[in-house]
Chains A and B, each alone.
Chain A
Amino acid sequence: MTAAPPEQGTGGPAAVVPMALPVPSVDAAPASQPSPWPHRHLLDLDVVSWPEIELVMRTAEAMKEVLARPIARVPALRGTGVTILFYEASTRTRVSFEVAAKNLSADVVNIAAASSSVSKGESLVDTIRTVEALGARMIVIRHATSGAANLAAEHFSGSVLNGGDGWHAHPSQALLDLFTLRERLPGGSLHGRKVVILGDVLHSRVARSNIWSLTAAGADLWLCGPATLLRGFERWAASSADVPGHGRFQVTSDIGRALRDADVIMALRLQRERMAAGLLPSVREYAARYGLNLERLGLARPDALVMHPGPMNEGVEIAPEVADHPRSVITDQVTNGVAVRMALLYLLAGAAANDD
């Protein structure tokens, strides 16, 4: 359960949390952390509290400082086997994790496992056990099936970091989004800021994980897209609408209403198979009605930030002029991804070390 967002205060959420978790010295071994990260795995953000999210943010700040050094490398994970096990094609996330692990001096093994290994008879559980027998202490997994990271965690004695499972969760992406926003928003706080997640919410693990973190941060969160790509989310919004201290958000298909006075717009990738599945009439109609173009950006606040988790379909969910706009923080997201993933690997290694 995500902890309650702070109700007020400009000093950021930490101001009302009685005891913020102390930030580790990232040059030291993870096991020496002053306040150990309590989760052996990171599968989704629903069980991560706000103070823990803040700890990730502050640790990532320290990592960003490491990245600014002439030699961007600390020995924190020296000798630790990290296996990056990707069942789905990905460049950005895989490389980001690989760079993050190498910056921490981990021993990195990359496995690009075709999903067809399932049909060849090698089960995920088999693979996890094999990877463990080969010395991995941490696994970063990407898989097309929701819950795959949970299954991996059940069968692995080390730490599992979910690099995206099906439509379910992509916690490192949500945390790097949060990090980027805190860095770029005046005052460094999401509290009361109108954030719009725009597009194919139904199929998006990025949207789902961001719901937990952005509502925990106190954002005024809106989900917007055509009704066929929002199916079920009205119910989710309703279930948390009247609960004090629980993240609440709004759902609408009215893009004008969603974007008006927005502080942040996060466009989501639209995959072409949504047309074949009968969810949308055409790419053209989608781009015309829900594509983020300059005219629509004009509805938002003048200083609104534009995000995209990538990879982009420019001209579909986002116009090229918007993607390259001065208010676009899309490349910041990529840079910050490495720092946030270094922080996560570091904190999880500490949790595992203290478990042993």
Chain B
Amino acid sequence: MTEVASELGLLVRELEISRAWLVDPCADREGPGEIVVRDGRLEAVTWLDEADGAGIEPDGVIVVPGFIDLHAHFREPGFEDAETVASGLAAAAHGGFTTVCAMANTDPPIDDASVLGRVQSAAAASGSPVELLAYGALTAGRRGDSLAALGELSDAGAIGFSDDGAPIRSPSILRNGLLYAGMLGRLVVDHAEDPALTDGAEANEGLVATVLGLRGWPAAAEAGPVGRGLAILADVLRDEPRARLHFTHLSTGAALELVRAAKAAGLPVTCDVTPHHLALTDTWIAGARDWAWQAEIDPWLGTVQDADPFDSTLRVNPPLRDRADAQACLAGLLDGTADAVATDHAPHTRVDKAVEFGLAANGISGIETAIGILLAAVDAGKLPLRRAIGALTAGPAGILAAGGWAGTRGLVEGAPANLVVIDRSDTWRVDAGSLRSKGKNSPLLGRELPGRVLLTVAGGRLAYEA
């Protein structure tokens, strides 16, 4: 790899990566190759034939399109002690992301164009080349009573609408919101949770919650609203064929099965799963910290407790589920039921997490560890590399394109370079110092993750360099 010859935020004048493993899920292709970036443009993508590419393996340096995160919380305005747009974008670049969709649950929420403008200004002021997109709230104040300023938000560049974090209680508001957003050609992103079933809930309803005495969070609280949303979508489509519904952070086999059936029936529905829901389980709360795809363990029968129980970094909404659900998330990713992996990056201050488990703020700081978790699944033979990368690139790109996004999809010659260079032969240690996010609330602190990001180029400019 030649010197990048640039500083963070500046155009990449010249970059040549020869003899790397290229993965471009947007072209459904991977193999040995070379790339050349000049003056920020991806000048050449060369796929090597078998003879020239001999000895180049997918476990060395790989070059992939820049990642797209459909779901992140950057906390600005309102909660700048947890994250700012600038620190969030730096964390994103460290995680290999070149496009991030920020959620609207700021204070004030992004429910009108002025707040959206403030977020966009913060992104511009940060100097980060990572593309920041933002959702508008679906309802005014995210209160669920009446629609937010959807048209004005759309005109100002909102990529879609979501009340994420606040379940939409009223089926009528969801129905009207889907119809109105469909008219605008924008997505609705639904956080599927029935609050009547999760009032006071602390952890997935199952063995771990029972033994630890944590209030159970049933799977039905997710599958119920997913079923409701699909029925409403089918209804709305009769009036507005452009209506699109996306379920974010699905965590249960039951909900994924509903989406699978709806897709088979031709409904325009998409969904994402998070890295933590497919790799971590509720047994982590009991102190037994194996990846979900490793051999099943009962934390009270195992010989080793990896950590103390009740670690509040594991409190997240939806909760970490059991092994069967985590496997269902992985299976959904493998068969395409889940279109994308989204991080639900949810940074919190130490103060908001250094409390009793049930009182801790929900969320995991996860935008920097997403690729490492997926590569751990790849290394374990549970996920093909191309599918892992596709879930962070082609998958979310397709969903955003349906909502009017016109960014580059894949390694496209002549387009502004959006790419990530990862050394798969190296690992990195997750700790408070290595995370760029202000939110150090990661259950992976102290753990080595495979695949070190060496370089992230976003829009032709240098976003991160190891």
Contact = CB atoms under 8 A, between A and B. Distances in A.
A307 interface: no
A1 B355 CA distance: 26
A139 to B, nearest CB: 15
The 10 closest A-B pairs by CB, nearest first: A147-B310, A167-B213, A168-B213, A232-B210, A145-B356, A146-B213, A147-B357, A150-B310, A148-B356, A145-B358
Given A123-B354, A145-B357, A232-B216, A151 B310 contact: yes
A169 B305 CA distance: 18
A150 B354 CA distance: 12
Interface stretch (B150-158, B237-245, B296-304): B296-304
20 contacts: A1-B300, A1-B302, A118-B355, A118-B359, A125-B354, A146-B212, A146-B357, A146-B358, A147-B212, A153-B308, A166-B358, A167-B215, A208-B213, A232-B205, A232-B209, A235-B206, A236-B210, A239-B298, A243-B298, A243-B301
A308 interface: no
A246 B308 CA distance: 21
Contacts of B213: 146, 165-169, 205, 208
B414 interface: no
A88 to B, nearest CB: 13
Contacts of A40: none
B261 interface: no
Interface in A278-295: none
Contacts of B354: 123, 125
Contacts of A46: 211, 300
A150 B359 contact: no
A334 interface: no
Given A166-B213, A205-B213, A147 B301 contact: no
Residue in A47, A145, A240 whose Cβ sees the most chain B Cβ within 10 Å: A145
A46 B212 CA distance: 10
Given A232-B205, A239-B298, A151 B211 contact: no
Interface of B: 202, 205-207, 209-216, 298, 300-303, 305, 308-310, 312, 351, 354-359
Given A145-B359, A146-B212, A166-B214, 7 more contacts: A46-B211, A124-B355, A148-B356, A231-B216, A232-B205, A235-B207, A236-B207
Contacts of B302: 1
Contacts of B358: 145-147, 166
Interface in A117-160: 118, 123-125, 143, 145-148, 150-151, 153-154
A165 to B, nearest CB: 8
Nearest to B358: A145
Contacts of A124: 355-356
A123 B357 CA distance: 12
B203 to A, nearest CB: 9
Contact of B207 (A1, A231, A232): A232
A243 B300 CA distance: 11
Interface string A225-239: 000000111011001
Given A147-B212, A150-B310, A231-B216, A1 B301 contact: yes
A205 B210 CA distance: 11
Contacts of A205: 213
A125 B207 contact: no
Nearest to B350: A125
B174 to A, nearest CB: 25
Interface string A160-172: 0000011111000
A125 B357 contact: no
A151 B355 contact: yes
A232 B355 contact: no
Interface of A: 1, 46-47, 118, 123-125, 143, 145-148, 150-151, 153-154, 165-169, 205, 208, 231-233, 235-236, 239-240, 243, 246
A29 to B, nearest CB: 29
B310 A1 contact: no
Contacts of B214: 146-147, 166-168
Contacts of A150: 308-310
B206 A168 contact: no
B442 to A, nearest CB: 17
A76 B44 CA distance: 80
B359 A146 contact: no
Contacts of A243: 298, 301
B310 to A, nearest CB: 3
Contacts of B312: 151
Residue in B206, B211, B301, B357 whose Cβ sees the most chain A Cβ within 10 Å: B211
A147 B356 contact: yes
A300 B123 CA distance: 72
B319 to A, nearest CB: 14
A239 B215 CA distance: 19
B355 A123 contact: yes
Contact of A236 (B211, B355, B356): B211
Nearest to B200: A277
B219 to A, nearest CB: 13
Contacts of A47: 305
B210 A235 contact: yes
A46 B286 CA distance: 11
Contacts of A165: 213
Contacts of B301: 1, 240, 243, 246
A231 B206 CA distance: 9
A237 to B, nearest CB: 10
Contacts of B351: 123
A233 B308 CA distance: 23
A146 B310 contact: yes
Given A150-B309, A205-B213, A239 B207 contact: yes
Contacts of B298: 239-240, 243
A240 B301 CA distance: 9
A236 B213 CA distance: 12
Nearest to B210: A232
Nearest to B199: A277
A125 B303 CA distance: 30
B149 to A, nearest CB: 34
Contacts of B209: 232
Contact of A1 (B210, B303, B356, B359): B303
A46 B213 CA distance: 13
Contacts of A208: 211, 213
A351 to B, nearest CB: 17
Nearest to A125: B354
Contact of B206 (A1, A148, A232): A232
B256 to A, nearest CB: 22
Nearest to B354: A125
B308 A154 contact: yes
A154 B360 CA distance: 15
Contacts of A123: 351, 354-355
